[in-house]
Amino acid sequence: MTICTEFAPAKINLSLRVGPLEDDGYHPIDSRVAFADFGDVLVFEPADQLYLEITGPFAGELPVQDNNLILQAARALARTSGISKGARIQLTKNLPVSSGIGGGSADAAATLRGLNRLWDCQLKLSELATIGASFGSDIPACLHGGWLRMRGRGERIENLPPEASFAAVLVNPGIAVSTAQVFGRFDQRLAPEQFGATEHQNDLSQAAISLCPQIADVLQALLEICEGANRPIMCGSGATCLAGFSSQDGARKAARDLQENHPNWWIQPVTIGQAPPL
Ligand code: C5P
């Protein structure tokens, strides 16, 4: 029997500039993005209807609901391709939920890729990206992968020349943060003319910290343990933060030390900009 497996890596906004709210209810962004070698895993098998099973460390935080992005992606692909097949989808949820590293978008992108193969829809990447963009701003980026620049709401993708991969540690304080709420707080705190005028690599940091002060604790802990060349950054709309290291051993040691002091934080050493050894 045909079985397709897709990897749904964490999306890392290495920089994120945000402009003022537009009439469509979204903010223009300008972001440099790469992907981690760590993420969720999805397995797709033929079935008469659509089924979704979720296992893995963060399965408990993600109930199987009708509005799950994976099911939305599957239905949208079936509709666009005029297909009435089903699929059994197994998600291993390794990424924390609502954590700024694009887990839901990565899962939706992986679903579009996986079912495009399983159902033999033969849609091009650009067509899958158009479907994905209709229900998640980050889905086109997650479909493309590699090193890229996102603009517009996130749907305008430009490939960037690949840079050297680097070791990093991802840290999440265990608090889900709503992307919509962070953008809403951003609107309250920053006047539109400030677009592009701040020194932060992530324009959403202050808004996210005001909703989830523990992000500041994570950034401080990373600042104390990182090797100094680059300041730690918050990822996306938070609460996950990232610090770069000069070696994987350095990242692993930092992750161990941090975990000892913060047993309730999710802490993951990763490599950014390199496909996983699947
Ligand atoms: O597109 P997505 O569902 O991921 O976005 C979640 C929410 O984040 C949107 O409803 C919107 O409020 C906000 N958002 C935004 N500008 C963007 C992307 C998202 O305001 N570029």
Give 10-residue mean pLDDT values along the chain (278 residues).
93 96 96 97 97 96 86 97 96 97 97 98 97 96 97 96 95 97 90 47 95 97 84 96 95 97 98 77
| Stated pTM of the model | 0.94
Same domain (yes/no): 239, 216: yes
Structure tokens at 61: 């935080």
Predicted pLDDT of residue 230: 74
Q: What is the pLDDT of residue 277?
A: 56
Asked if residue 184 and residue 135 are part of one domain, the reply reads no
Query: Is 93 a catalytic site residue?
Result: no
Report yes or no: 97 and 60 within 8 Å, Cβ to Cβ. Answer: no
> Of 159, 189, 219, which one is at a domain's C-terminal end?
159
A 10 A CB-CB count for 220 gives 12
Q: What is the pLDDT of residue 274?
A: 85
Question: Does residue 277 form part of some domain?
Answer: no
Judgement on whether residues 148 and 18 belong to the same structural domain of the protein: yes
Q: How far is CA 150 from the centre of its chain?
A: 13
Q: Is 147 in the pocket of ligand 1 (CB under 6 A)?
A: no
Among protein residues, the one whose CA lies closest to atom 3 of ligand 1? 136
Is the same domain home to 170 and 154?
no
188 and 141, same domain (yes or no): no
Does residue 103 lie in a domain region? yes
- Clarify whether residues 152 and 178 are in a common domain: no
Domain with 135 in it: what CATH number? Answer: 3.30.230.10
Instruction: Check pocket membership of 141 for ligand 1, CB cut-off 6 A.
Output: no
Same domain, residue pair 137 and 58:
yes
Give pLDDT, residue 73.
Answer: 97
Among candidate residues 37, 40, 107, 138, the one labeled active-site is 138
Closest ligand 1 atom to 29 CA: 21
Domain end among 159, 184, 211: 159
| pLDDT value of position 229 | 64
138 noted as active-site residue: yes
- Separation of CA 26 and ligand 1 centre (Å): 6
In angstroms, what is the span from residue 49 Cα to ligand 1's centroid? 30
Q: In terms of domains, do 47 and 126 share one?
A: yes
Domain limits at 134?
A: 4-159
